Structure 1
Amino acid sequence: MQVSRSPFLHTDVRGEKLPPTIGGFVADGFEPVAHAFEASIISGSALGAACTIMHRGEAVVDLHGGWNSAKRNKAWASDTIALVYSLTKGLTGMAAAVAASRGLFSYDERVADIWPEFAAHGKGDVTVGEALSEQAGLAAIDYKLAVDRLGDEEAICAAIARQKPNWAPGDYSGNHAYTLGWIASEIIHRRDPQGRRLPEFFNEEIGAPLGADVFVGLPEGFDQRRIARIEGFGMQDLFIHHTTMPWPLTFKMCVPGTLAFRTLNNPLVLEGPGALDNEEFWRVGQGAAGGMASARGLARLYDAFAQGGASLGVTSEVMATLKQGHPYPRKGLKDQILTADMYYSYGFEKPFSQWEFARTRSAFGSFAVGGSLAFCDPEDGVSYAWITNQLGTGKWDDPREKLVRDAFYSCLENQK
């Protein structure tokens, strides 16, 4: 598909010395996407944001706008990256797909056959696919985490192995907010001939070959002037500025002893996710919440999967598995942490009846606290990434992001 790229640059309507409202380009016929993107910047509902969308291997939307920090003294640029929280899970899913394609393990293999210590407390039959689909019951762990010790994967993985599961594995799924990354990292480490853990494996086998500004563990010497700083929220904001966050979750994550509190406040204790936006965490390479990426880089990675994965050596069998999705938990889709239905699958989330984020069920990707979303739809040939540095207080379908996605799909329909 050949596209005509039209520069899209609007300056502030008041004529003040402010950065451009938005910059970048859209393909002919996709101008409404730029207007939708611009709306959240003008309204102030997004401090800064970026969106890149590819279709059949061509970029049709590549936009950025607003400020790169709450200081409002520097514009979000075309090469700006940011902490992307749970969008990192999709990166971990990609790494697992590449590893599985190389025969390091299969999704149907038992984790304990790779990592014998994992079998403790009745976890011996948990498969790699179940663990990556957040069904292992290891959302909350008793091991006390601290931001300055998140890089000690050996100690953390030992704690995960001896952890009694939060529910019978396979019965339910639940947001493994941090642990998903360490579980995947240990599985890869034990089977990779070079003994690499997730950060090295991802950066060397996926990020670097595709030349994408996406990192699990920020490299030394990276120009930190390119990093957008996060404007987070406090726990009080979930009540004062409540939007679509389920009320049961809002309460439970503030009540010590609940599964939600134990999952979401270890290592943070009622500080809010913005507290993770620091150099120490950027460099750790935490595989469920610590990715650093640009929207352009995320879209490029997902485009590799939208086009079948061959550029990364992903096999047709693995691609078919990702498109099909992991079987639902035995007792339904209700997330035991988020208190709402969610379909986790092999490190990604998939569309389901309550959240059809793409046009076909072949899609897979991840959303993040604060509203960011990235995914691909192989059947539709779409890869999509929208990220922001101003965290919203909803679950999924952040209105700032959804406005852009809806505009894109409306334009795509009109291309036929």
Structure 2
Amino acid sequence: MTGFPLPQSDLSAAGLRAEQIDRLVALIERHIAEGRYPGAQIAIARHGSLALFRTFGNATLDRPADDRTLWLLYSNTKVVTAAALWVLAERGLFRFTDRVSDHVPAFARNGKRDVTVLQLLTHRGGFPNAVVPQKAWEDHALLKETVCDFSLEWTPGSKLAYHGLSAHWTAAVLIEALTGQDFREVIRETVIAPLGLQNELMVGLPKAAMARTADMHEPAEDGVRPIAENNTPAWKKAGLPGAGGYATARAMAALYQMMVNGGALGGTRLLAPRTLSYAIRNWTGDMVDEYMGMPMHRGIGPHLRGTTEGIRGLGGFASPRTFGHGGVGSSYCWGDPDSGVSFAYLTNCRIPDPWHSLRLDLVSNFVHSAII
């Protein structure tokens, strides 16, 4: 694993309290010993260097994980897809205040004409439960028809409710309309490859990379069991834009380093600071996300900590400007522009709340309390 864009450092040089990171490591080791999840990977970066990268446990029930293992990101993928749209907007292909139907005219069906890209990506589009069938994963003409046929559940902009898959399938159709290319290739060309992360961050896996993946699991009476539908070649290849990316933890920490560093990573500038300032802004105030049951302070991709009493995944101790995203029941990645720290925590078991959110608060707070 050579040529990674972040040079190796250590906790001391990065200004991180080793005793707090030791507590984090012990917590993860205890989780694995208890059978909570087969394996995990974490990475911490600061000021353009990788301070910690560590792999734990197994990728599958019978195969150890290693530093090359690719972990299913679930909804962490949403930030990767959003980043491609940030780049396309900076290139002048569209504006976030545009209507989706300005670029995909058929999307106007069923009352959706006035849904803006900003509403779409901040989970105010009005169709949180719309479904794309598996047969449309590779048939993108069918994908476009399916998305354009989505029906509204409420007036766009009037509510905030997490669109688990529907918004980012729509974003994929928008990307293809803007570029004339497969959305997976656009994400690779605009974000992943320029940052030098193409071997460790993928939305749509090539066949050669599939053997590196960790299986995703769920709790069972006798421990954990694989989630069959999330471990198939078809799932891995599809690269669901809101749920199907794969990465190493250090690749996600590097992606967030780019964001906390104002759009640059390892000498490569991907975006302007003002573009990021626009994208990673609290566009929804303290509106309660009806799915999450709390204010989520949505940006165009990540969400922010804000100053509410609680927040999902980012850690209660986080600076109000800390931003990030999670993967359902399994993971969280975030960046803190006030300290320059980025962090990725990836596991391979989808565990329901309340345990999931409680452990995320502990995990993230160990990192926040390590920052000097």
* Coarse TM-score class (shorter-chain normalised): 0.7 to 0.9
Task: Give aligned-pair identity as a percent.
Answer: 25
Cα distance in structure 2, aligned partners of 1:395 and 1:306: 30
Q: Map 1:267-416 to 2 at 5 A.
A: 275-310=229-264, 311-328=268-285, 332-335=287-290, 337-352=291-306, 353=308, 354-355=310-311, 357=314, 359-394=318-353, 398-412=357-371, 415=372
Residues 273 and 109 (structure 1), Cα distance of their counterparts in 2 relative to 1, 3 Å cut: farther
Task: Name whichever of 35-44 and 197-206 sits farther off.
Answer: 35-44
Question: Paired residue for 2:4?
Answer: none
Inter-partner Cα distance in structure 2 for 1:217 and 1:381: 30
Aligned twin of 2:18: 30
Show CA shifts across 1:12-65 (max 9, x none).
xxxxxxxxxxxxx99773243133223232333332101111112122221211
Would the alpha carbon gap of residues 229 and 403 (structure 1) be closer, same or farther in structure 2, given more than 3 Å must change? same
Is the radius of gyration larger for structure 1 or structure 2? Answer: 1
Report the Cα distance in structure 1 between the residues aligned to 2:11 and 2:334, rounded to whole angstroms.
24
Q: Which moved more, 1:382-391 or 1:342-351?
A: 342-351
Report deviation, 1:190: 1.5
Q: Give secondary structure in 2 for the equivalent of 1:361.
A: coil
> Contact 1:233–1:273 (CA<8 Å) still a contact in 2?
no
Q: Secondary structure at the match of 1:402?
A: helix
**RMSD of equivalent CA atoms:** 3.0
Q: Conserved in 1, the CA contact under 8 Å of 2:203 and 2:244?
A: yes
CA change 1:116–1:149 in 2 (3 A) is closer
Return the offset for 1:328.
4.3
| The one of 42, 56, 63 aligned to 1:51 | 42
Q: Is the 8 A contact 1:178 1:288 kept in 2?
A: yes
Which residue of 109, 128, 152 corresponds with 1:165? 152
Question: What residue is the counterpart of 2:3 in the other structure?
Answer: none
Change beyond 3 A, Cα 1:32–1:351: closer
SS, match of residue 84 in structure 1: strand
Structure-2 change in CA distance of 1:227 and 1:118 (3 Å): same
- What one-letter code is carried by the residue in structure 1 that aligns with 2:215? R
Residue 277 of structure 1 aligns with an amino acid whose one-letter code is: N
The alpha-carbon deviation at position 308 of structure 1 amounts to 0.5
Q: Using the alignment, how far apart are the partners of 1:395 and 1:273 within structure 2?
A: 20
Match of 1:267 in 2: none
Contact 2:122/2:284 (8 A) holds in 1: no
Q: How does 1:70-219 map to 2 (within 5 A)?
A: 70-71=61-62, 74-141=63-130, 145-146=133-134, 148-192=135-179, 195-212=180-197, 213-219=200-206
Contact kept in structure 2, 1:93 and 1:347, CA below 8 Å: yes
1:227 aligned to which of 210, 213, 223: 213
User: What is aligned with 1:40?
Assistant: 28
The letter for the 2-side match of 1:305 is M
AA of the residue aligned to 2:326 = F
CA separation of 1:46 and 1:190: change in aligned 2, threshold 3 A: same
* Structure 1 alignment gaps of length 5 or more: 8-24, 242-270
CA contact (8 A) 2:143 2:173 kept: no
Q: How has the CA–CA distance of structure 1 residues 190 and 314 changed in structure 2, closer, same or farther, with 3 Å as cutoff?
A: same
Once the two structures are superposed, what CA deviation does each residue of 1:101-144 show, in whole Å capped at 9, x if it has no partner? 11111111111111111122322222111111111112222x66
- Tell me the TM-score normalised to structure 2 length: 0.85
Bigger proportion of residues as strand: 2
Moved over 4 A (4+): 25-28, 271-274, 338-341
Q: Which runs of 5+ in 2 are unaligned?
A: 1-6
Aligned counterparts of 1:396 and 1:385: Cα–Cα separation in 2: 19
